[in-house]
Amino acid sequence: MKVIGYARVSTAGQALESQLERLSVAECSEIFEEKVSGAQSERPELVKAIDQLSEGDVLIVTRLDRLARSTRDLLRIVDVLEAKGAQLKSLSEAWADTTTPTGKLILTVLGGLAEFERSLIVERTSEGREIAKREGRRLGRPPKLTKHQRSFVLKWRAAGQNNAQIARKLGVSRSTVSRIK
């Protein structure tokens, strides 16, 4: 079993020393460190740390905000770790420890809450679309061409011009013109 540490700070002006010290005390065999914003999806050292993990290994962080930028991101990372048979442990948040049954339970509950929140968002969005349709509001991007321009498209097409010629006249793409019926 390997214990791998991950430390991250957001800016070059911040220091990693306190995290590195705590991870050393936690007896990490290897520590991956980086200075990159948590909002960035590209965190190469985190990817390397996770790549090092295998069945029974543990990834340790000093705090969850050093690992994930949101609950959804945290749950995604935990899923990746679980797929490898590895576990997660936070030194500051005792509840975030998948090496214990309680930690697994709490992260499962968080996962259920996140899934519930996603389904509510989908439901509200769908409901809003239905209301907008009933009220006759147009959904999606606004049309590139006005009604007046669309009538010209039909006239020019009837006069024998092709879609490419019409599109050049109107300054739009050929596919925009081809969708006019």
Nearest CA to 110 out of 70, 55, 170, 56 is that of 70
User: Which stretch of DSSP H or E encloses residue 33?
Assistant: strand 30-35
Q: What gap in Å lies between CA 146 and CA 117, rounded to an integer?
A: 39
Contacts of 22 (CB under 8 A, 6+ apart): 62, 91
Nearest CA to 41 out of 76, 17, 15 is that of 76
Is residue 91 a contact partner of residue 61, using CB atoms and an 8 Å limit?
Answer: yes
Q: Where in the sequence numbering do the catalytic residues fall?
A: 10
DSSP structural state of residue 137: P
The β-bridge relationship of strands 58-61 and 87-90 is: parallel
